[in-house]
Amino acid sequence: MESEMEHHVHLFIFDSMSDWEYGYAVAGINNPQFQRHPGHYRVRTVALRQNFVTTIGGLRIQPDLSNSR
């Protein structure tokens, strides 16, 4: 019996992170064509704080989750 539970894949984000290193992995995880059970996995971004993170290429990303209290 297979679980219908959604699984989270956490991507740690931080200021000056490179834009290109995680691109293929995130695209593959989010693309239903590469999933046996589409919608089973979800990428969540995680940072130390809830503030926007700016990548080395200038992209601003707001984390889904943070470690701040």
Confidence (pLDDT) at 1:
40
Confidence (pLDDT) at 37:
83
Confidence (pLDDT) at 69:
56
- Contacts of residue 8, defined as CB under 8 A and 6 or more positions apart, other chains included, come to 41, 42, 43, 44
Tell me, yes or no, if the pTM score tops 0.95.
no
Domain residue extents for the chain? 7-66
CA dist., res. 41 & res. 64, Å (int): 15
Full pLDDT tens readout for the chain, 69 residues:
455 688 999 999 999 999 899 999 999 998 888 888 888 888 999 999 999 999 999 999 999 999 875
